[in-house]
A and B are shown apart, each in its own frame.
Chain A
Amino acid sequence: MAEIHGALAHQFDDPEQQVEASTLGMWTFLATEILFFGGLFVAYIVYRLSYPQAFAAASHHLDILLGTVNTGILIGSSLTMVLAVYSAQMGRSRSQILFLAATLALGLAFLGIKGVEYQHKFHEHLVPGAGFQFSDADPRHAAIFFSLYFGMTGMHAFHMVIGAGLLIWMALRAWRGEFSASYYTPVEMVGLYWHFVDVVWIFLFPLLYLIGRH
C-alpha cells in the first residue's frame, strides 16, 4: 500500500477523505462552470425570443454537416475518456495511456474541424465587426447571432484546449506510473471535466445549428 501513502496529502487523515474532497471540489468547480456558461445561455435565450426570424436565417449559414460530425467526434471522445478511467480503475496503465491519447486525438480533431468552420465564416464575412456582411433580412440582429455563435463556441473551444492540456498531463503521469488501481483520482477528475465540456456542446449544437432549420 506504499503508493497510497505516497499520494496522501498532509492535510488529510486517510485516502478516502482525500478522494471525497477532490470529488466534491470538482463538482463544485463544475457548478461554477454551469453558471459561467449560464450567462451566455441567458443572452442567447433573450435574443432568440426577441429576434426569432433573424436567428433562424443566420443559423442557416452554419455548416450542419461539420457540426454533426463534430458532435459525433465529441461523443466518441467521451466514450474513450470513460474507458481511460475504467483502465485506471483496473490498474491497466498501458490501455489507460492509449485511451487518453485517443481522447486527445478526438478532441484535437474537434478543434480542427471547428477551426475550418471558423475559417469559412471568416471568408463569408460572417465574423461580427466592421467587415460583417449579411445578405438575408435583418443583418443587424443576425450579427447578434454570430456574436453569440463565436462567443459560445469560442468559450467552449477554450475549455477544450484546457482539457487537451489536462489529458497530456494525465498521460504523462500515467506513463511515469503514478496511478494504480488504488490511486487514480486525478484521471477521474479530468474525466468529469471532459464530460462536462462535452455536455456543454450537446446544448450548443441544437441551439445554434438545429433550432429554426426547417
Chain B
Amino acid sequence: MSVIAETTVAARARPPRRHYLNVNYGVRSWLLTVDHKRIALLYLVSVTLFFFLGGAAAVMFRLELLTPQSDLFEAETYNKLFTLHGLVMIFFFLIPAIPAVLGNFLVPLMIGARDLAFPKLNLLSWYVFIIGGIFTLIAAIMGGVDTGWTFYTPYSSTYSNSYVALTVTGAFITGFSSILTGLNFIVTIHKMRAPGMTWLRLPLFIWSHYATSLIMVLGTPVLAISLVLVALERLFQFGIFDPRYGGDPVLFQHLFWFYSHPAVYIMILPAMGVVSEIVPCFSRKRIFGYTFIAFSSLAIAILGFFVWGHHLFVSSQSVYAGLVFSFLSMLVAIPSAIKVFNWTATLYKGSIVYRTPLFYALGFIGLFTIGGLTGIFVATLPIDVHVHDTYFIVAHFHYIMVGGTIMGYLGGLHFWWPKITGKLYPEGWARFSALVIFVGFNLTFFPQFILGYLGMPRRYAAYPDEFQVLNVMSSAGASILGIGYLIPLIYFFWSMRYGPYAGANPWDARGLEWTTASPPPTDNFDYKPRVSQSAYAYEEEQKVG
C-alpha cells in the first residue's frame, strides 16, 4: 500500500508541457492523425457509442421479458432488437474494444517503439470500422435485421424480409478493420521492439495481443467470404447454401463458426493480457509462470481454430465429428486454467494493494472461471443436446464476454487511464461502480443458467408463466448493470477536467509505458528505450534507458 501511495505523491510534479494531446488542436488534427495514441482515442469514443447503443437494445428487450406475454414489442421487433444487440456488441464493441483501444495505445509504448509499423494503415482501419458501422446503423434505421447475429442460412439468404444484405455488408467491411489492426500488431511486435526487448521479456499483454492478432488475421477472411456468399445468394440466387439448389445450409454454419468461435478468443485473450498486467502490479510480485501464460495464449489461439464444430452438435453433424470437436473443445480448458492458476499463484503471498483495476481483475478471474467451467458443460455432447439454444448458452457466453471481456476492458481502462489522460479518477466512485457492475452482472446472468437448464429457449419474446420470477430477477440485474456502466462514463469525463495530475507512474508499475511521461509525447519516449530486465520486475527497481 505504502509503496504506491508514496510514489504517487513523489511523482505528483507537473504534467509535461508538450504531449500527444496538446501538440495540436482541431478536428483535422484528430481525423487525419497517424499517432497510434490518438487513433486509440478515436476508437475509444466510437466503441463507447456502440456499447451504449447495444446496451439500449438490451434494456428494451429485458423490459419486454419482464412479463411472459409479448406485450411491449411484437415478436418481429423483439427479433430485431436482440439481433441489433448481438451485432453491435460483438462486431462493434467486444472485438475492437481492447485491441483497438488499449492495444493501439499500448503496443508501441510497451515494446519501446515510436508508433505501430504502419500508422496510416492504422488510421485506415478506424475509417473502415466507421464505414462498416454506418452501413449497419443504416440497416438498423431502415428497419433492422431479424436473423440473429449469426446470419444462419437459408433464413438469412432466402426467407428473411429484413435488411440482411446491407447489414452483412457492414459486418464484412468492419472485418477488414480487424484484419488491418491484427496485421499491424503482428508486424509491429516482430519488427519494432526496442533493443533488449527479447520475446521472453515482452509484457504478457503483448503476447496475448500477438495471439489475438493471429486469429484476427487468419479467421476474419473466412467470415468475410462466407458473408459474401450469403449476399450473393440473396442478391443473385447463387446456390451455395440453398437446399433448393442442392446447397447445404450447414456448410454456412461450418464456415461461420470457423471464424466466429475463434472470435470469442479475439474477445477474451486481450482481456487476459490486461489481467496479467494488473495482477502482478497490485500484488507487488513478479508474475508466476510467465512462460506458461505467454504460450497458453498461443495455445488458445491455435486450439481455437479446431473447435468450431461444437456449435453444430445438433446440426446434423456426424456423431464422430461431434466427439472429436467435443474433445478438442475441452482441451481449451487447459491453457485457460493455466492462466487462472498462475494469476492466483501470483496473488498468493503477494503484498496486495486493493485498487480499482485489481477489483476488475479479481472480478474477471471469478466470472471467467464460471464462464469457462460452463463451457466444459456445453462442450459435453449430451449436456449440449439438453441446453442447446437455451438461456444456459446465453448465460455461459455472457459470463465470458461480459464477465470476461468487459471486466478486462474496464480494468485496463482504469489501470491505464492515468497514462492515457495524465489524470486520476475518483478512486471511491470507481470502486463503488466496480462493485455495482459485479453485483448487477451476476443478478442478470446467473438466473439465466437456471432458466436455460429448466428449458427456456433463447430468442423468444414470450415464455411460460413459471419462468417469470427468474426473468424479473434478470431484468432487475440488467438495470443495476446499466447504472454501473454509466458511473465510470461520468467520472472519466469529470477526471479529464478536474482530476488531479497522475504523474508518470501512479501505480509504481513496471513496464516501458510507465517510464515515459503521462500523457506521453507524440513520439512516445524522450529517450531511446533499452531493456535490460525481464517484465514484472516488481522485486527490483525499474531500470530506465
Contacts and interface: CB of A to CB of B under 8 A. Distances in A.
A10 interface: yes
A32 B248 contact: no
B209 to A, nearest CB: 15
B239 A32 contact: no
B267 interface: no
B132 interface: no
B101 to A, nearest CB: 20
A39 B236 CA distance: 19
B255 A29 contact: no
B305 to A, nearest CB: 10
Interface string B113-147: 11111110000000000000000000000000000
B447 to A, nearest CB: 39
Contact of A39 (B113, B114, B221, B232): B221
A175 interface: no
Contact of A148 (B114, B240, B254): B240
B-side interface mostly:
helix
A151 B232 contact: yes
A42 B218 CA distance: 15
Interface stretch (A63-71, A138-146, A179-187, A193-201): A138-146
Interface in B65-111: none
Contacts of A37: 225
Nearest to A144: B239
Given A24-B191, A144-B239, A38 B117 contact: no
A-side interface mostly:
helix
B349 interface: no
Interface string A97-114: 000000000000000000
Interface residues of B, number: 42
Interface stretch (B44-52, B179-187, B449-457): B179-187
A128 interface: yes
Contact of B236 (A9, A129, A140, A141): A129
A148 B238 CA distance: 8
A24 B184 CA distance: 10
Contact of B179 (A17, A24, A32, A155): A32
B497 interface: no
Contacts of A143: 239, 245-246
A56 B196 CA distance: 59
A129 B245 CA distance: 10
Interface of B: 113-119, 179, 183-184, 186-188, 190-192, 217-222, 224-226, 228-229, 232, 236-240, 244-248, 251, 254-255, 523
Can you list the 4 inter-chain pairs with the closest CB atoms, starting with the nearest?
A39-B225, A36-B221, A11-B115, A147-B238
17 contacts: A11-B113, A11-B117, A17-B191, A21-B187, A32-B179, A35-B222, A39-B221, A42-B255, A43-B251, A47-B246, A47-B248, A50-B248, A51-B246, A129-B236, A130-B237, A147-B245, A155-B225
